[in-house]
Amino acid sequence: MKPYSEMSKEELEAQKAELTKQFEQAKEKGLKLDMSRGKPEPAQLDMGMGLLDVLTSSSDMKCMEGIDTRNYGLMDGITEAKHLMADVMSVPAENVIVYGNSSLAIMYDTISRSVTHGVMGSTPWCKLDQVKFLCPVPGYDRHFAITQHFGIEMIPIPMTADGPDMDLVEKYVSEDESVKGIWCVPKYSNPSGVSYSDETVRRFAALKPAAKDFRIYWDNAYAVHHLYEDKRDEILEILSECEKAGNPDMVFEFCSTSKITFSGAGMAAMASSAANLADTKKTLTLQTIGYDKVNQLRHARYFKNLEGMLAHMKKHANIIRPKFEAVLAVLERELGGLGIGEWTKPLGGYFISFNAMEGCAKAIVAKCKEAGVVLTGAGATYPYGKDPKDSNIRIAPTFPTAQEMAQATDLFVLCVKLVSVEKLLQTA
């Protein structure tokens, strides 16, 4: 089929009639599918059940420090868990604090602490007239929600195939003292799947911030979440790059096992410089006597080391890769060459990012919903939920089965076509 933009008004009208008929038929199927959130499917969770068997007797419960993990103490995590999470992030274990089950909670906490107490002695952000964050777009809605909650002004930064537009990042960071941070998902980005190039990481490390308390919020959520064994993205390790560049304190890095073991009951960690960690611990020690060390021990014993975890993640990949491929196959077959949409083909992570014709995303998501397929809300991938082009849609293929994903994507492409035809007819 030829590109929609080359169709005459009559051809478009004919298309519309045919697509509308197909859509009505699709509605009758009564689909009920959810592609809205990056959730593991049950089979992935089943793979982690061994986790619940590693600690059974009282004699199992001491960690490397010789401390009973069931009792109070060790606020910053047990050594073996630090090592495991450090290896996930490719940093030394002494740069790691292991927390509870949610890296999002660590990020919230890190921002909240900066608002009330500043960063390493800086003025608390609540005392400043203006605080801004750079937000690579499309990005992760929950990052944006945290910054918005604290009244932090968000500046969208376009993503390229190599990561955020670094010319813009450098300009804002070096010129504006009210810019205190940037949200990054450096590997298999949410939602684009893009991994930052070495040059991008080096340019991050070499930033010359106007604000002393500027930090890069490096959410390494998909560090070990490869879809393929032979095609993988790897990124430069940011902490050591920053140190080399003379900016040792510029990064807070986050990760978790939420999409490795259990989304509801994993463990999360933060890596940063000794100075940042010392500053963090000053508050942490008031906040809790310690996180769940039994769960930390459980994870460390279960995986033993990074190799154990990577072997586990290969099995995950075998489950979710066919779903990604099912979506991509339908997109290619149905939309290839039509000029009404572009999409990413990620090598890892949890999402496919789809860009519709301008002004079509909301209508597409609404149409899908009308026929029983729930997508992430259009705009969610932008600060304040506002995609200025109304173009980006995040597809989360992991939770439904591959067959369901194919069905859902069949409907999705139908809606993309129908909305695009209607859009073109408005100006034809």
**Which residues are at the interface with a copy of itself (CB under 8 A)?**
37, 39-40, 42, 45-46, 48-49, 52-53, 55-58, 61, 68-74, 100-102, 104-105, 108, 112, 115-117, 124, 126-127, 142, 145-146, 149-150, 258, 262-265, 283, 286-295
Please give the Cα distance from 51 to 274 (Å, whole number).
Answer: 31
CB of 111 to a copy of itself, least distance (A): 10
Q: Which is closer to a copy of itself, CB of 367 or CB of 394?
A: 394
Cβ burial, residue 218 (10 Å; 0-12/13-18/19+): buried
Contact by Cβ (8 Å): 33, 372: yes
Contact by Cβ (8 Å): 111, 104: no
Q: Which is closer to a copy of itself, CB of 13 or CB of 68?
A: 68
Neighbours of 118 (CB within 10 A): 19
Q: Which is closer to a copy of itself, CB of 142 or CB of 362?
A: 142
CB of 315 to a copy of itself, least distance (A): 15
Q: Which is closer to a copy of itself, CB of 100 or CB of 163?
A: 100
Neighbours of 46 (CB within 10 A): 11
Q: Which is closer to a copy of itself, CB of 55 or CB of 428?
A: 55
The amino acid at 124:
P
CB of 113 to a copy of itself, least distance (A): 8
Instruction: Please state the φ and ψ torsions of residue 253, each to the nearest 5 degrees.
Output: -110, 140
Q: Which is closer to a copy of itself, CB of 27 or CB of 37?
A: 37
- In angstroms, what CA-CA distances link 292 with 69, 263, 298? 8, 15, 10
3-state secondary structure of 277: helix
Q: Which is closer to a copy of itself, CB of 100 or CB of 379?
A: 100
Would you give the distance in Å from CA 264 to the centre of its chain? 16
CB of 283 to a copy of itself, least distance (A): 7
CB of 218 to a copy of itself, least distance (A): 19
Cβ neighbours of residue 253 closer than 8 Å, sequence gap 6 or more: 89, 91, 218, 219, 220, 238, 239, 270, 271, 272
CB of 158 to a copy of itself, least distance (A): 25
CB of 253 to a copy of itself, least distance (A): 19
3-state secondary structure of 388: coil
Residue (of 347, 398, 423, 381) closest to 190 by Cα position:
381
